[in-house]
Amino acid sequence: MSESSADASDSSNFIRDMIDADLAANRVSTVVTRFPPEPNGYLHIGHAKSICLNFGIARDYGGYCNLRFDDTNPEKEEQEYIDSIRRDVEWLGFEWHGNPFASDYFDQLYGFAIDLIKQGKAYVDSQNAEEIRAGRGTLKTPGEDGPYRNRSVAENLQLFEAMRNDEFDDGEHVLRAKIDMQSPNINMRDPVLYRIRHVTHHNTGDKWCIYPLYDFTHGLSDAIEGVTHSLCTLEFEDHRPLYDWILDNLETPSRPRQTEFARLQLEFSLTSKRKLNALVSEGHVSGWDDPRMLTISGMRRRGFTPESIVNFCDMIGVTKKDSTIEMGVLETALRDDLNARAVRRMAVINPLKVVIENYPADREEVFKGANHPQNPDYGTREIPFAREIYIERDDFMEDAPRKFFRLSPGREVRLRFAYYITCQRVIKNPDGEIESLICTYDPESRGGSSPDGRKVKGTIHWVSARHAVDATVNLYDRLFTVPNPGAAADLHRVLNPDSRVVMDNAKFEAAIELTDNPLAYQFERLGYFVSDYDSTVERPIFNRTMTLRDSWAKIGQAQ
């Protein structure tokens, strides 16, 4: 599985062109990349784009990619997230070279900070956060040099050491780079490099009470690891001058380059861990792996295959310009992959009983059905048939229009694989609700055609009542009602109330295998399904991964 999924992306893009040029000019010999998540949440579909890019490039150029945990915010990081990130990257089919933490480099980073101080390029600022913010100016106005900017090297060294040695409270001092308070780029106005935080860190425990900031840590971590191409999303473009300044002013083991690409934005979804976290903690979904969430773990539970996600990333490509991808692109990638691999079965999710009155009560027969229409390697299965069957309630209409080609009183329909049946009577309960149908079958039509050549337009699926397995099916739809939920002021106002419908009276054709890596099924006419983690042999629970066609597109056309 991992090989085929990782083989998919070989399309060219501007980053690959740049790497080709670097290799041709001997600026680089081994291509080294990294995927640097902050372990403060689960990975989502946006991260998949970055994973496919970074790991895909390393693989295709015979180099390597590190999975680096960017763990400089001690407050928000948890082991659960670390474990889930590793699992997701592996599941997508990629192998990392190293799996370091940025916090592994805290000693080296501290040394680099001392070096900057000694060069007169960093200083301890004793203003509070508010004063620092005010002194930095705005996008329109320049900043101002603060009162501590010209402290001596000796005083800075002594204060920074005291910061490290736990002599101050949070916020009393920070270490700042000494660059240019008047720079048009606000990131260059003496950015903070270290702050005091009395917090236990998941990796370094209580060893440190000062923590380096992202911008200081990131480029230096790249340099320590020998990363050649540091690929990040466009919001870091304005940080590149700082990335370069830090590396240009320090003796580092290597000199990486940062290149930016557009973030994935996908309609009807959120790609911000903070907002996904809110959905989880406010209980709008069942967890990070709720099948409606476009987290990697949610998608896995929903029945996405790693190949479908890698193919999707390949389809959307890598560009320098932000754009929003339509949900249909992801759905197409998924359907294409599932169509090729899903095992075919029949299932009825909203059953209506049909009694075939001229079929002997004690008789049973078995039809053979292909497990996959195009792939004979999948073999066939036996489908039992008897006098009582279930059909889908939607496949019957009492007062049907002329063009309704399914079942209605007096009309004939083909049962997939089996016989033609004609509806004779409708049985109702005292409330007038339809309870069952009485039908007759044509014994001559075995296998689905009649010797007299009469035409039957509609074919419906069914399940033998006596043999059916009771099951629950979760039908999922988009979690949000608007294409850009991230822009909504109040997330719960744009949640789709019908995003999950539980059908707990479903009937399956046969027992379902339960494995760690559940099989993808296509229930004919209904869509693609996968068994949920909570499924048991006694009570199968299935998630609908996707319908067969894009019902949203059809609705759009009809309007």
- Residue positions annotated with a catalytic role: 38, 263, 273
Report how far residue 32's alpha carbon sits from residue 490's, in angstroms, rounded to the nearest whole number: 41
Distances in whole angstroms, Cα of residue 113 to Cα of each of 132, 176, 247:
20, 10, 12
Report how far residue 508's alpha carbon sits from residue 526's, in angstroms, rounded to the nearest whole number: 12
Q: Which is nearer to ligand ATP, 176 or 229 (CB)?
A: 229
What are the φ/ψ torsions at residue 74 (nearest 5 degrees)?
-60, -25
Q: Which is nearer to ligand ATP, 236 or 529 (CB)?
A: 236
Report how far residue 416's alpha carbon sits from residue 395's, in angstroms, rounded to the nearest whole number: 13
Interaction partner, residue 49 (Mg ion, ligand ATP, none; CB < 5-8 Å by kind): ligand ATP
Q: Which stretch binds Mg ion (CB under 5 A): 35-43, 82-90, 316-324, 537-545?
A: 35-43
Q: Which stretch binds Mg ion (CB under 5 A): 37-45, 121-129, 254-262, 409-417?
A: 37-45
Q: Which is nearer to ligand ATP, 210 or 264 (CB)?
A: 264
**Are the C-beta atoms of residues 462 and 354 closer than 8 Å to each other?**
yes
* Minimum distance, C-beta of residue 463 to ligand ATP, in the bound complex (Å): 42
* Minimum distance, C-beta of residue 265 to ligand ATP, in the bound complex (Å): 7
Interaction partner, residue 232 (ligand ATP, Mg ion, none; CB < 5-8 Å by kind): ligand ATP
Interaction partner, residue 271 (Mg ion, ligand ATP, none; CB < 5-8 Å by kind): ligand ATP
Interaction partner, residue 74 (ligand ATP, Mg ion, none; CB < 5-8 Å by kind): none
* Minimum distance, C-beta of residue 253 to ligand ATP, in the bound complex (Å): 21
Q: Which stretch binds Mg ion (CB under 5 A): 31-39, 93-101, 252-260, 380-388?
A: 31-39
Q: Which is nearer to Mg ion, 46 or 256 (CB)?
A: 46
Q: Which is nearer to ligand ATP, 231 or 460 (CB)?
A: 231
Report how far residue 500's alpha carbon sits from residue 301's, in angstroms, rounded to the nearest whole number: 14
For residue 155, the surrounding DSSP H or E stretch is helix 153-164
* Minimum distance, C-beta of residue 49 to ligand ATP, in the bound complex (Å): 4
402-434: string of b/e by CB count within 10 Å (b at 16+)?
eeebbbbbebbbbbebbbbbbbeeeeeeeeeee
Q: Which is nearer to Mg ion, 272 or 324 (CB)?
A: 272
Closest residue to ligand ATP using C-beta atoms: 46
Distances in whole angstroms, Cα of residue 404 to Cα of each of 311, 395, 396, 409, 429:
38, 9, 9, 12, 25
Interaction partner, residue 257 (ligand ATP, Mg ion, none; CB < 5-8 Å by kind): none
**Can you give the binding site for ligand ATP, defined by CB under 6 A?**
36-38, 46-47, 49-50, 70, 232-233, 263-264, 271-273
Number of chain residues interacting with Mg ion (CB under 5 A): 1
**Are the C-beta atoms of residues 322 and 263 closer than 8 Å to each other?**
yes
Q: Measure the CA angle with vertex 270, ends 264 and 272; round to 5°.
A: 80
Residues with Cβ within 8 Å of 4's Cβ and at least 6 positions away in sequence, in order, are 93, 307
Q: Is 38 in the site for Mg ion (CB under 5 A)?
A: yes
Q: What residues numbered 135-174 form the site for Mg ion, per CB under 5 A?
A: none
* Minimum distance, C-beta of residue 66 to ligand ATP, in the bound complex (Å): 12
**Are the C-beta atoms of residues 456 and 241 closer than 8 Å to each other?**
no
Report how far residue 519's alpha carbon sits from residue 530's, in angstroms, rounded to the nearest whole number: 6
Q: Which is nearer to Mg ion, 40 or 484 (CB)?
A: 40
Burial class (CB in 10 A: 0-12, 13-18, 19+), 443: exposed
532-542: string of b/e by CB count within 10 Å (b at 16+)?
beebeeeebbb
Report how far residue 243's alpha carbon sits from residue 236's, in angstroms, rounded to the nearest whole number: 10
Q: Which stretch binds Mg ion (CB under 5 A): 32-40, 73-81, 181-189, 377-385?
A: 32-40
Report how far residue 530's alpha carbon sits from residue 509's, in angstroms, rounded to the nearest whole number: 15
End-to-end Cα, the chain, rounded Å: 42
Q: Which is nearer to Mg ion, 38 or 60 (CB)?
A: 38
* Minimum distance, C-beta of residue 228 to ligand ATP, in the bound complex (Å): 16
Q: At what angle do helices 306-316 and 45-60 cross, to 10 degrees?
A: 80
Interaction partner, residue 144 (Mg ion, ligand ATP, none; CB < 5-8 Å by kind): none
Interaction partner, residue 472 (Mg ion, ligand ATP, none; CB < 5-8 Å by kind): none
Q: How many CA atoms lie within 13 A of 218 on its CB side?
A: 24
Report how far residue 21's alpha carbon sits from residue 43's, in angstroms, rounded to the nearest whole number: 32
Interaction partner, residue 63 (Mg ion, ligand ATP, none; CB < 5-8 Å by kind): none
Q: Which is nearer to ligand ATP, 234 or 370 (CB)?
A: 234
Name the token pair of 44. 């989502």
* Minimum distance, C-beta of residue 378 to ligand ATP, in the bound complex (Å): 36
Interaction partner, residue 36 (Mg ion, ligand ATP, none; CB < 5-8 Å by kind): ligand ATP
Distances in whole angstroms, Cα of residue 187 to Cα of each of 156, 244, 386:
22, 12, 74
* Minimum distance, C-beta of residue 70 to ligand ATP, in the bound complex (Å): 6
* Minimum distance, C-beta of residue 271 to ligand ATP, in the bound complex (Å): 4
Where do we find the tokens 């890598």?
318
Residues that bind Mg ion (CB under 5 A): 38
